[in-house]
Amino acid sequence: MNEEIIIAGFGGQGVLSMGKILAYSGVMQDMEVSWMPSYGPEMRGGTANVTVILSDSRISSPILKMYDTAIILNQQSMDKFEKYLKPGGLLLYDGNGITRHPERKDINVFRVDAAEEASKMQSSKTFNMIVLGAYLKIRPIVSMENVMNGLKKSLPERHHHMLPLNKAAIERGLEIVQEVQVVG
Amino acid sequence: MVVLQAESEIASINMVYGGAGCGKKVMTSSSSPGVSLMQEGITYLAGAELPCVVVNVVRGGPGLGTIQPAQSDYFQAVKGGGHGDYKLIVLAPSSVQEMADFVELAFDLAFKYRNPAMILSDGMIGQMMEKVEMKPFTPRWTDEEITKMHPWATTGKPASRERNIITSVELDANAFERFNHKLQAKYKQIEENEVRSEMFECEDADYLLVAYGSSARICQKAVQILRAKGIKVGLLRPITLFPFPTKEIQALLGHVKGILSVELSAGQMVEDVRLAVEGKVKVEHFGRLGGVVHSPEEVVEAMESKIIGG
Amino acid sequence: MSIDIKDIIKPENLVYQKSSLLTDRVMHYCPGCTHGVVNRVIAEVIEELGIQEDTIGVAPVGCSVLMYNYIEVDWHEAAHGRAPAVGTGIKRLMPNKYVFTYQGDGDLAAIGTAETIHACNRGENMVMVFINNGIYGMTGGQMAPTTLQGMKASTCPFGRDIERDGNPLRMTEIVATLPGTCYVTRHAAHTAAAVRKLKKALLKAFDNQKNNKGTSFIEVVSTCNSGWKMTPVQSNKWMEAHMFPFYPLGDIKDV
């Protein structure tokens, strides 16, 4: 198993922390992982993205051109990364604010309206966990138990009271993800 | 552990000089422009034969440059940087695990040879997260251990020994030439004993990639892509940049027909590769500049156009 | 009756002797230079306090670059201006040792201003000795940050011009404003009385270090007769007439 993922959106959407939780979950499941953020002053409120790789064997390049999965959380990221999906790859996106939906016909497309759901849950901070849940529904590469262990590991202890809320958000994501297009 | 935030890189490297003279394990860390500021202190450390560790997480230059990854400080680290004939022991980690492990290795080598060691990393290794297994901490050296292991350390002069003086000044040119010869002999010894490198699919390789640090990770993927196409490519990853794995490259020249040296620079390490190859096979350089990181696909393309088809 | 000199040189007649901490190396300082006197006083202070085994000195770049040849303690020779940073490194890792730095005006007040200010501001628990003779002695008598208005130097042959060169810098007054310094004082070493006062100040400074009080900073207003192009005696007179009014002697701060 070797899963190469780009997660991209606005700074503040929890892009980097979602990647981190996914990477920690992989560690809990005894996988090799890498987490490589884009960084710099432009991340203050600008676009943010992170490359996460989970693999059964030693990971070579942590920086990639083509991805197995793209998790897209705003229009700029859709424009930038749709073309870098491998044929047959997975594009998961949040529909909020998206004006141009995915156009490629050779990829699998799923949608999760996580922003809307997060506002229903009255906690914008659950947004990225809803997206993570949606991703894990399509690609169950780590068990829920290890995701919760990863979450625990990556959250500072003072935020551990948020664990049940995050778990609920992940479970909500599992439920509400919608299939848009599936190829071969 | 004593941790102190210095007012500048100039101050920090000189605090390292002070601490190192006491026989303690001392280190400092910065990114390219800050390491340029440290160059004066580093040559003093080399001249006074003090062990220490300096970490450079390289970013794109020249000038204030960018904050993205680069490998354009190779010459500064490997060929000097400050004034005078000196060498640093330069280690190039290519994973977060090595970033952790090389701190201990760098200290071991620095104390073994009484010489500053540098960990030459870059913004990619510096920013990424990976699984790391930490070794158990070793206890701090006691004063008695320091006095015993490092009799040169300025721990205060007891009646039983001569004064210890940490210095790099010698106004008698003949005496200073002798000292310089001593340094050169030490560097030669380091070259004989401390070369470290890693081979990846080199046994049957027709073509070779040479890359260190983050570029080596990218090249490893490029090897996989090229091998999948049926082209026999290997990767030699220098782990020590000084001493450079010259003999290790030479040993592959029996079957390797061409070499691509890949670094995030305009071509610095490639000079050492060419010196090793002595014109026997074609050697070309490939690398993105100024903070742009090459993709494995770009390396594949460069290998195909510059070496295999070139 | 003639007196044999051998009858005079006897232990019971001893009024003064060279500190046992001074080496037998012939000092390289110019005859008449203040450095030799201050080096000697520091050796005496370390000897009197009985802290030879626990003292590490930091020598500067400048005329006193080879100071480590003269006093029998462990030494670091620092890069130009960096003695306070080197001293910081030593003291932080060996807090039970005594550390002193010794710098001239080019070293402490020009190239190393930042290191001086920040070490004092952190209150590094060490003794800093500042030799101010208003000129760069070693390199050929160039203007220093402390060169007085109108004072001639090889790079201001018509005298320091405030408009062009800026004002002379009173480093000692500056560091006295920093909370990290516990004792800031200005002395001279041109008379026996001045030397006695300087020695008292140094004893107090090392005592402050023993009691973890912070940075003790001692300026010694000095002469450079070769750079000033005067005899040693003329230099001392010139210093009294011109340096002391701008750099007045005495304690500036004593917490």
CATH code: domain of residue C36 = 3.40.50.970
Q: What is the pLDDT of residue A41?
A: 53
Q: What is the pLDDT of residue C3?
A: 81
Tens digit of pLDDT for each residue in B44-69? 999 999 999 999 999 999 999 998 99
Q: What is the pLDDT of residue A72?
A: 97
Q: Is the pLDDT of residue B310 over 80?
A: no
Q: How many CB atoms lie within 10 A of CB C215?
A: 28
Mean pLDDT of A164-182: 96
Mean pLDDT of A58-87: 95
- Tell me whether B224 touches chain A (CB under 8 Å): yes
Q: Which domain holds residue C62?
A: 27-254
C76 neighbourhood in chain B, CB within 8 Å: 17-18, 21, 154, 165-167
Q: What is the pLDDT of residue A184?
A: 72
Q: What is the pLDDT of residue A35?
A: 96
Q: Which two tokens stand for residue B20?
A: 């190192």
The C-alpha atoms of residue B100 and residue B27 are separated, in whole angstroms, by 13
B296 neighbourhood in chain A, CB within 8 Å: 60-61, 64-65
Q: Are B94 and B214 in contact (CB under 8 A)?
A: yes
A179/chain B closest Cα distance in angstroms: 31
CA angle B219, B33, B126 (to 5 degrees): 40
A–B CB contacts, 8 A cutoff, strictly below: 59
Q: Is the pLDDT of residue B264 over 80?
A: yes
User: Which DSSP helix (H) or strand (E) runs through B11?
Assistant: helix B9-21
Q: Which two tokens stand for residue C197?
A: 């006062």
Q: How many domains does chain C have?
A: 1
Q: What is the pLDDT of residue C6?
A: 85
Residue in chain A lying closest to B200 (CA)? A60
Q: What is the pLDDT of residue A74?
A: 94
Q: Could you give the 3-state DSSP secondary structure of residue A67?
A: strand
Task: Name the residue with tokens 């680069």.
Answer: B70
Q: What is the pLDDT of residue C209?
A: 98
Partners for C (CB, 8 Å, 3+ pairs)? B
Q: Is the pLDDT of residue A45 over 70?
A: no
A63 to B297: CB separation less than 8 angstroms, yes or no: no
B14 to C78: CB separation less than 8 angstroms, yes or no: yes
B6 to C85: CB separation less than 8 angstroms, yes or no: yes
Q: What is the pLDDT of residue A155?
A: 87
| Cis bond before residue B62 (omega within 30° of 0) | yes
Interface of C with B in 117-136 (CB under 8 A): 118
Q: Which two tokens stand for residue A159?
A: 């935020």
Q: Are C207 and C47 in contact (CB under 8 A)?
A: no
| Nearest beta carbon to residue A27 from set B131, B222, B293 | B131
Q: Any idea where the domains of chain B sit in the sequence?
A: 1-194, 197-308
Give the residue from B275, B97, B74, B79 showing the smallest Cα distance to B187. Answer: B79
The C-alpha atoms of residue A184 and residue A108 are separated, in whole angstroms, by 9
B67 neighbourhood in chain A, CB within 8 Å: 39-41
- Tell me whether B52 touches chain A (CB under 8 Å): no
Mean pLDDT of C144-170: 96
Partners for B (CB, 8 Å, 3+ pairs)? A, C
pLDDT category of residue B76 using cuts at 50, 70 and 90: very high
The C-alpha atoms of residue A115 and residue C108 are separated, in whole angstroms, by 60
C53 to B157: CB separation less than 8 angstroms, yes or no: yes
Structural domains of chain A, ranges and CATH numbers in brackets: 2-181 (3.40.920.10)
Q: Which two tokens stand for residue A32?
A: 């090799």
User: Which DSSP helix (H) or strand (E) runs through B270?
Assistant: helix B269-277
A37 to B67: CB separation less than 8 angstroms, yes or no: no
The C-alpha atoms of residue A152 and residue A155 are separated, in whole angstroms, by 5
Residue C95's alpha-carbon distances to B97, B167, C55, C98, C125, in angstroms, are 34, 22, 11, 8, 8
Q: What is the pLDDT of residue A124?
A: 85
Q: What is the pLDDT of residue A44?
A: 53
C140/chain B closest Cα distance in angstroms: 18
Interface of B with C in 3-22 (CB under 8 A): 4, 6-8, 10-12, 14-22
- Tell me whether C65 touches chain B (CB under 8 Å): yes
pLDDT category of residue A11 using cuts at 50, 70 and 90: confident
A37 to B221: CB separation less than 8 angstroms, yes or no: no
Mean pLDDT of A73-91: 96
Q: Is the pLDDT of residue A113 over 90?
A: yes
- In the CATH scheme, what is the code of domain B197-308? 3.40.50.920
- Tell me whether C53 touches chain B (CB under 8 Å): yes
The C-alpha atoms of residue C154 and residue C72 are separated, in whole angstroms, by 36
Mean pLDDT score of chain C: 96
Q: Are B30 and B15 in contact (CB under 8 A)?
A: no
User: Which DSSP helix (H) or strand (E) runs through C37?
Assistant: helix C34-49
Residue in chain A lying closest to B125 (CA)? A36
- Tell me whether B108 touches chain A (CB under 8 Å): no
Tens digit of pLDDT for each residue in C168-191? 999 999 999 999 999 999 999 999
pLDDT category of residue A6 using cuts at 50, 70 and 90: very high
Q: What is the pLDDT of residue B98?
A: 98
Q: What is the pLDDT of residue C1?
A: 63
Tens digit of pLDDT for each residue in C25-66? 999 999 999 999 999 999 999 999 999 999 999 999 999 999
Mean pLDDT of B111-119: 98
A35/chain B closest Cα distance in angstroms: 5
Query: Using the 8-state DSSP alphabet, how is residue B305 labeled?
Result: I
pTM: 0.91
Q: Which CATH architecture has domain B1-194?
A: 3-Layer(aba) Sandwich (3.40)
- Tell me whether A43 touches chain B (CB under 8 Å): no
Q: Strand C74-77 relative to strand B165-166: parallel, antiparallel, unpaired?
A: parallel
pLDDT category of residue A125 using cuts at 50, 70 and 90: confident
Residue in chain A lying closest to B223 (CA)? A60
Q: Are B255 and B204 in contact (CB under 8 A)?
A: yes
Tens digit of pLDDT for each residue in C56-115? 999 999 999 999 999 999 999 999 999 999 999 999 999 999 999 999 999 999 999 999
Provide ipTM, 2 decimals. Answer: 0.88
Strand-pair partners of B30 = B56
| Nearest beta carbon to residue B165 from set C77, C88, C93 | C77
Residue in chain C lying closest to B3 (CA)? C92
Q: What is the pLDDT of residue A47?
A: 79
User: Which DSSP helix (H) or strand (E) runs through C8?
Assistant: helix C5-8
Report if residue C19 sits inside a domain. Answer: no
Report if residue C16 sits inside a domain. Answer: no
Residue in chain A lying closest to B124 (CA)? A36
A40 neighbourhood in chain B, CB within 8 Å: 67-68
Q: Comparing A38-52, A114-128, B215-229, C222-236, which segment has the lowest mean pLDDT?
A: A38-52
The C-alpha atoms of residue A35 and residue A56 are separated, in whole angstroms, by 15
A162/chain B closest Cα distance in angstroms: 24
Report if residue C3 sits inside a domain. Answer: no
B35/chain C closest Cα distance in angstroms: 16
Task: Name the residue with tokens 């009691």.
Answer: C211
B222 neighbourhood in chain A, CB within 8 Å: 61
